[in-house]
Amino acid sequence: MNYNEKFEKLGVRIPNIILPKNKADFPKYAVLACDQYAAQPEYWEKVRSFVGEAPSTLHMTLPEAWLLCGDRDFGKRADCMEKYLSKGIIEETGEGFIFTERDTPDGTRFGLVAAFDLEQYDYNPGTDKLIKVTEMTDITRVAPRVEIRKNAVLELPHVLMLVIDKKDRLMEMLRKECSALPKIYDFDLMEGGGHIRGTKIETEELYQKIADILFEIFEENGKTFSFAMGDGNHSFATAKCFWEELKKNLTPEEQKNHPARFCLAEIINLYDEAMPYESMNRLLSGVAEPEKALSEMGIDLNNLPSLQELQPILDRWLESHPEAKIEYVHDADTCEKLGKEPGCIAFCYREFDRDSVLEIIKKNSVFVRKSFAMGHPYEKRYYLEGRRIR
């Protein structure tokens, strides 16, 4: 099979990526994923101060910290996308993947930015789709993102898609092949995000090598799945929900290649040593009597149940205590600190077994929502590459 045939069978599409026209804009253009530091709005105020009025993905996205504070100006974000395109501030770079190299405190990790077929994904567990969901999706978190996407001409996803490649064949090949190619970007990310380099891949020879390796991995894993959702599941679910509504008004022929049928994401290897994995932590706030609440739930903070057992307990308790709220905090130390604030309780977990991802996929099951965190908050994906969805 040629690369196009293999990519189609894997649910992959070669994207036409949008980036700033002026490379000098990159340091202020790329900002951290919107779902980070939701409980720490001061982080986003620092970002706003640094960016100012410069071209930035900050002006095209909505940090959850601001959403929680009442910001619902979705139209402003869509208008900014139109403005950047019409004024030539950002531009399409032509078809091609982007190979990424991201330096962080945990080392240099590698990725491949590609587009994925939303027809091969379902955020509900237990389906036969090729792109597997790994955690339960909180659909209530999707609604405001769909509102933003309705009028947006671009997508700026922060999704990390997992390929389960213990031999590291894909990234090893890309490191070798891209070492001498020119960089499409090369700059420091703001607020301690490290350094990132990007190499555009646009030759048929490399397309075929990528397709061959991905298909080999697909066959080794039993041809039951091609990728697993890593980080940004709710962003991918947003794209899916939007597509399902949009396609109702399209003919079957129009559906085949409509840009909204695909979603941009970065492939990374589950076993990349520079990407640490930790179980996700829980923070309850608005709890009038923390000790009483723990007693009602039957939980001892010094002897926590497994995360898969804890989440249903918290869900039941929250149903009868609407005044309380739950946040999912990536960093255990930060969660512990926040848990010492009045009216708060922190539930912290620090270990995660990577092999359990493949195990749960083989069972056609999922972890409870927000089960694991990939990297510290500052190591999450920054909004950088974009793509037209209409």
The rounded percent of the chain whose pLDDT value lies above 90 is 80
Q: Are residues 265 and 297 in the same domain?
A: no
Q: What is the pLDDT of residue 329?
A: 87
Residue 108 near residue 168 (C-beta atoms within 8 A): no
Q: Are residues 141 and 31 in the same domain?
A: yes
What's the predicted TM-score (pTM) here? 0.87
Quick one: which of 155, 149, 201, 156 has its CA closest to 30? Answer: 156
CA atoms within 13 A on the CB side of 250: 16
Please tell me what DSSP assigns to residue 121.
B
pLDDT digits (tens, 9 = 90+) for 277-312: 988 899 999 999 999 999 999 999 999 998 889 999
Which residues share a beta bridge with 102? 109, 196
Which residues share a beta bridge with 239? none
Other residues' Cβ atoms within 10 Å of the Cβ of residue 156? 23
pLDDT digits (tens, 9 = 90+) for 162-175: 999 999 999 999 99
Cα 7 from Cα 379, distance rounded (Å) = 29
| Segment 74-83 long-range contacts (CB within 8 Å, at least 24 positions apart) | 74/144, 74/147, 74/148, 74/150, 74/151, 75/151, 77/148, 77/152, 78/148, 78/151, 78/152, 78/153, 81/152, 81/153, 81/154, 82/153
Q: Please check whether residue 29 lies inside any domain of the structure.
A: yes
Write a three-state SS string for 158-202.
Answer: CCEEEECCCCCHHHHHHHHHHCCCCCCEEEECCCCCCEEEEEEEC
Q: Are residues 37 and 98 in the same domain?
A: yes
H-type helices in the chain, by residue range?
3-10, 26-29, 41-51, 64-68, 74-86, 143-151, 169-178, 204-220, 233-246, 252-257, 290-297, 307-319, 332-339, 355-362
Quick one: which of 179, 183, 18 has its CA closest to 90? Answer: 18
Q: Please check whether residue 16 lies inside any domain of the structure.
A: yes
Cα 171 from Cα 175, distance rounded (Å) = 6
Tokens of residue 334, six digits: 């930060």
Q: Please check whether residue 365 lies inside any domain of the structure.
A: no
Q: What number is the average pLDDT over the span 247-266? A: 97
Q: Are residues 154 and 210 in the same domain?
A: yes
Q: Are residues 287 and 268 in the same domain?
A: no
The parent domain of residue 293 ranges over: 281-348
Which residues does 135 contact at the CB level (< 8 Å), separation at least 6?
A: 229, 233, 366, 367, 368, 369, 370, 371, 372
For the chain, what is the mean pLDDT? 94
Q: Please check whether residue 357 lies inside any domain of the structure.
A: no
Cα 287 from Cα 280, distance rounded (Å) = 20
Tokens of residue 357, six digits: 């991802």
Q: What is the pLDDT of residue 258?
A: 97
pLDDT digits (tens, 9 = 90+) for 323-365: 999 998 878 899 999 999 999 999 998 888 899 999 889 888 8
Q: Are residues 200 and 296 in the same domain?
A: no
Residue 387 φ then ψ, to 5° = -160, 140
pLDDT: is 60 or 368 the higher one?
60
Q: Please check whether residue 381 lies inside any domain of the structure.
A: yes
Q: Are residues 86 and 147 in the same domain?
A: yes
Tokens of residue 159, six digits: 């999704």
The rounded percent of the chain whose pLDDT value lies above 70 is 100
Q: Please check whether residue 363 lies inside any domain of the structure.
A: no
Domain count, the chain: 2
Tokens of residue 129, six digits: 């789709």
Cα–Cα distances (Å) from 89 to 66, 97, 101, in that order, read 25, 21, 24
Q: Are residues 204 and 127 in the same domain?
A: yes
Residue 228 near residue 159 (C-beta atoms within 8 A): no
Pairing of strands 227-231, 160-163: antiparallel
Tokens of residue 251, six digits: 């003919």
Q: Are residues 294 and 225 in the same domain?
A: no
Q: What is the pLDDT of residue 365?
A: 86
Res 142 pLDDT > 90: no
Q: What number is the average pLDDT over the span 248-262? A: 97
Q: Are residues 109 and 203 in the same domain?
A: yes
Q: What is the rounded radius of gyration, in angstroms, for the C-alpha atoms of the chain?
A: 21
The single-letter code of the amino acid at 294 is L
Which residues does 207 contact at the CB level (< 8 Å), separation at least 6?
A: 3, 7, 14, 97, 201
Which of the residue ranges 59-68, 191-200, 314-323, 367-376 would you say has the lowest mean pLDDT? 367-376
Quick one: which of 209, 3, 195 has its CA closest to 107? Answer: 195
Residue 242 near residue 149 (C-beta atoms within 8 A): yes
Q: What is the pLDDT of residue 216?
A: 98
Label residue 4 by pLDDT band (50, 70, 90).
very high
- Placement of tokens 């959403």 in the chain: 67
What is the residue-wise DSSP string for 261-301?
GEEEEEEEETT-TTS-EEEPEEEEES-S-HHHHHHHHT--T
Determine whether 342 is exposed, middle or buried from the number of CB atoms within 10 Å of its CB (0-12, 13-18, 19+): exposed
Res 226 pLDDT > 80: yes
Q: Please check whether residue 183 lies inside any domain of the structure.
A: yes
Q: Please check whether residue 172 lies inside any domain of the structure.
A: yes
Q: Are residues 216 and 318 in the same domain?
A: no
Q: What is the pLDDT of residue 186?
A: 98
Q: Are residues 87 and 44 in the same domain?
A: yes
